[in-house]
């Protein structure tokens, strides 16, 4: 292996060291370019004088100055995420953020000026050959034009947001982040103080009483903070309703559709089809109940582990396994992923001060992406590694795009990562011989799919209904709890019993506060990827070049355009069922495995 023994990422291709003068030079250079750009371009985006070549030049300069500033910014961000308790990293990141803020302020006029052009002036620009590589960005930007208010109003709204919705979002973060609970951990004598994250991790504990006890403690803690949490929800919901009125959004979800490039009818259809497949979830829950040997299935049993047998997978084995899974699809996919190991672009193990979870930082075109994981050797860690490498390959392939077209549109952002996870599951199922482990593998895949589709549909339905009801008046905690139970009850049916404190399940979900209606993009992304995988099963090798082309297109196309070569019509209601058909097939496969195992060991 070419990686260092401790498996830290190597950031020297960016800067030789944190105190290297090149870092400050790049930052200063970007700021100077931003000021020069403002001096040259401000006031020139005028209906009568502007030409397509001039705009192309401005767009090129705008991207270039951002790229120059992003390199030192991302470098500081990476250093900070790997070791945030280092004072030098803190200072560097703070300095980068300030500089980026100044750069954004100096160039804010540019997009606002583009938005102010009339449709008559804008239409010929979109058709101009010089602007073809910016077409998608310009179209996306212009989609906001009908809902953009005058500069003075926009500025006033921005300022009032600080003490309005942003203040409530901040309060929610602080209240939930600082919450402490008292719980007696399994194997410990006395109760001790703990964080919410530690309690939620116990949902995967083998003992049902531990799972229920931990989740109940977590939910009761939120119930105790009901006054503040309910106020946060009420104000965030009201704020959005008022803003929708002010901007004239035809629907509450309009701004999300604009961001995600989705059509209202498309998403409504997707949600209907998802609700119509709740029985698939119930079928799975019943199977899981049977596998766990339980009389009744509670919602705290959903993620219960199936075997206590835990095998440690060391990182070298994880690398070989993921690369083999990728190679089973295409050697090129494995090669692209291999470069992350060979070039030491993965920070592997947990460490003090390192950020939790995992991510792939896409960086910018021309700068190689980096991956951070907290690898401990579990099957979930293996799956996470495949997921992040999927993102990594996606960014690498999109590296030929300009900065505007680099990041895939939201509904396609998880395509490569989810696809990579399916490849891994299929590979493991093919090589694994232990029937018990095969069952566990298949269950965890199905659970994951249910969590990103059916469950996100419940969340989206709750959120939409809460917004609508807030329009009629203030919501009490009982209103919110009742709505939550009613939407969840539709998915669980008679298959799963909700524990009493689960009525507070809505109160800790940050997406409702921080990124409104984001949950539906999970369903969208998962169903699209499952459908793509199904095409791959049907088409075989013919699918592979189309798949690579989709990833290489980055964000240069809308989801509708990007999926057309696969014969996928997002407007067709039948399309959404395809993903669920694949789940039905996985369920049948699981049933066969269970039946075979029972035959062998009655």
| Binding residues for Zn ion (CB under 5 A) | 417
Structure tokens at 281: 């979830």
With CA atoms as reference, report the closest residue to 475 among 249, 226, 242.
Answer: 226
The residue among 282 and 417 lying less far from Zn ion, judged by its C-beta, is 417
Alpha carbon of residue 413 to chain centroid: 8
187: left (phi over 0), alpha (psi -120 to 50) or beta: left
Determine contact, residues 333/326, Cβ cutoff 8 Å: yes
The residue among 113 and 388 lying less far from Zn ion, judged by its C-beta, is 388
| Residue 358 beta carbon to Zn ion: minimum distance, rounded to whole angstroms | 8
| Residue 381 beta carbon to Zn ion: minimum distance, rounded to whole angstroms | 15
Determine contact, residues 508/203, Cβ cutoff 8 Å: no
Angstrom distance (rounded) from CA 161 to CA 158? 5
| Residue 21 beta carbon to Zn ion: minimum distance, rounded to whole angstroms | 35
The residue among 3 and 417 lying less far from Zn ion, judged by its C-beta, is 417
| Residue 74 beta carbon to Zn ion: minimum distance, rounded to whole angstroms | 18
Cβ burial of 28 (10 Å; 0-12, 13-18, 19+) is middle
Determine contact, residues 408/421, Cβ cutoff 8 Å: no
Angstrom distance (rounded) from CA 104 to CA 504? 40
The residue among 396 and 417 lying less far from Zn ion, judged by its C-beta, is 417
With CA atoms as reference, report the closest residue to 77 among 506, 431, 433, 364.
Answer: 364
The residue among 422 and 495 lying less far from Zn ion, judged by its C-beta, is 422
Closest residue to Zn ion in the complex (CB): 417
| Residue 68 beta carbon to Zn ion: minimum distance, rounded to whole angstroms | 28
The residue among 266 and 408 lying less far from Zn ion, judged by its C-beta, is 408
Task: Specify the pairing of strand 346-347 against strand 370-372.
Answer: parallel
| Residue 47 beta carbon to Zn ion: minimum distance, rounded to whole angstroms | 42
The residue among 55 and 360 lying less far from Zn ion, judged by its C-beta, is 360
The residue among 388 and 463 lying less far from Zn ion, judged by its C-beta, is 388
| Residue 532 beta carbon to Zn ion: minimum distance, rounded to whole angstroms | 16
The residue among 212 and 388 lying less far from Zn ion, judged by its C-beta, is 388
**CA dihedral over 222, 226, 231, 236, signed as positive or negative:** positive
Scan for tokens 């006033």, then name that residue.
Answer: 156
Determine contact, residues 287/447, Cβ cutoff 8 Å: no
**CA dihedral over 25, 26, 28, 29, signed as positive or negative:** positive
| Residue 78 beta carbon to Zn ion: minimum distance, rounded to whole angstroms | 17
The residue among 45 and 519 lying less far from Zn ion, judged by its C-beta, is 519
| Residue 115 beta carbon to Zn ion: minimum distance, rounded to whole angstroms | 31
CA distances from 594 to 35, 111, 286, 501, 600 (A): 66, 58, 13, 33, 10
| Residue 245 beta carbon to Zn ion: minimum distance, rounded to whole angstroms | 35
Q: In what order do the strands lie in the sheet with 370-372?
A: 346-347, 370-372, 359-361
């Amino acid at each position: 292996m070419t990686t260092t023994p401790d498996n830290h990422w190597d950031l020297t291709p960016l800067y030789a060291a944190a105190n290297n003068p090149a870092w400050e030079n790049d930052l200063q250079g970007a700021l100077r370019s931003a000021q020069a750009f403002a001096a040259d371009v401000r006031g020139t985006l005028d209906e009568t004088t502007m030409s397509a070549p001039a705009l192309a030049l401005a767009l090129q300069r705008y991207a270039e100055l951002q790229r120059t500033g992003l390199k030192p910014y991302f470098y500081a961000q990476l250093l900070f995420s790997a070791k945030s308790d280092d004072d030098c990293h803190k200072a560097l990141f703070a300095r980068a953020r300030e500089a980026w803020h100044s750069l954004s302020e100096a160039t804010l006029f540019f997009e606002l000026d583009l938005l102010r052009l009339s449709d008559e002036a804008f239409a010929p620009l979109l058709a101009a050959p010089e602007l073809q590589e910016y077409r998608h960005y310009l179209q996306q930007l212009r989609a906001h034009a009908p809902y953009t208010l005058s500069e003075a109003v926009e500025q006033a709204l921005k300022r009032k947001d600080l003490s309005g919705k942003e203040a409530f979002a901040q309060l929610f973060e602080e209240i939930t982040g600082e919450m402490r609970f008292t719980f007696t951990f399994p194997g410990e004598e006395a109760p001790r103080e703990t964080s919410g994250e530690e309690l939620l991790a116990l949902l995967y504990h083998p003992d049902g009483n531990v799972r229920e006890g931990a989740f109940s403690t977590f939910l009761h803690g939120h119930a105790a903070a009901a006054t503040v949490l309910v106020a946060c929800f009420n104000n965030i919901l009201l704020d959005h309703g008022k803003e929708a009125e002010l901007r004239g959004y035809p629907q509450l979800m309009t701004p999300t559709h604009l961001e995600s490039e989705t059509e209202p009818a498309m998403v409504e259809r997707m949600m209907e089809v998802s609700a119509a497949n709740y029985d698939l979830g119930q079928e799975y829950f019943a199977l899981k109940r049977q596998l766990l040997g339980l009389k009744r299935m509670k919602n705290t049993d959903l993620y219960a582990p199936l075997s206590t047998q835990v095998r440690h997978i060391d990182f070298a084995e994880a690398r070989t396994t993921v690369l083999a899974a990728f190679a089973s699809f295409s050697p090129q996919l494995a090669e692209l992923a291999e470069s992350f190991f060979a070039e030491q672009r993965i920070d592997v193990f947990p460490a003090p001060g390192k950020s939790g979870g995992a991510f792939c930082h896409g960086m910018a075109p021309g700068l190689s992406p980096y991956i951070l994981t907290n690898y401990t050797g579990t099957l979930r860690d293996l799956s996470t590694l495949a997921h992040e490498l999927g993102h990594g390959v996606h960014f690498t392939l999109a590296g030929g795009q300009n900065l505007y077209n680099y990041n895939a549109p939201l509904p396609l952002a998880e395509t490569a990562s989810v696809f990579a996870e399916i490849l891994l599951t299929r590979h493991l199922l093919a090589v694994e011989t232990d029937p018990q482990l095969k069952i566990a593998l298949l269950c965890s895949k199905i659970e994951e799919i249910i969590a990103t589709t059916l469950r996100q549909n419940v969340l989206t339905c709750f959120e939409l209904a809460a917004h609508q009801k807030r329009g009629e008046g203030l919501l009490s905690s009982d209103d919110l709890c009742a709505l939550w139970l009613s939407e969840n009850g539709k998915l669980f049916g008679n298959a799963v019993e909700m524990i009493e404190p689960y009525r507070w399940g809505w109160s800790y979900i940050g997406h409702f506060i921080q990124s409104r209606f984001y949950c539906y993009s999970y369903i969208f992304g998962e169903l699209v990827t499952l459908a793509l995988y199904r095409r791959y099963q049907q088409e075989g090798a013919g699918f592979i070049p189309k798949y690579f082309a989709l990833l290489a297109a980055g964000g240069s196309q809308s989801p509708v355009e990007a999926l057309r070569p696969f014969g996928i019509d997002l407007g067709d209601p039948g399309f959404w069922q395809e993903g669920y058909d694949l789940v039905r097939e996985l369920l049948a496969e699981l049933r066969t495995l269970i039946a075979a195992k029972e035959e062998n060991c009655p």
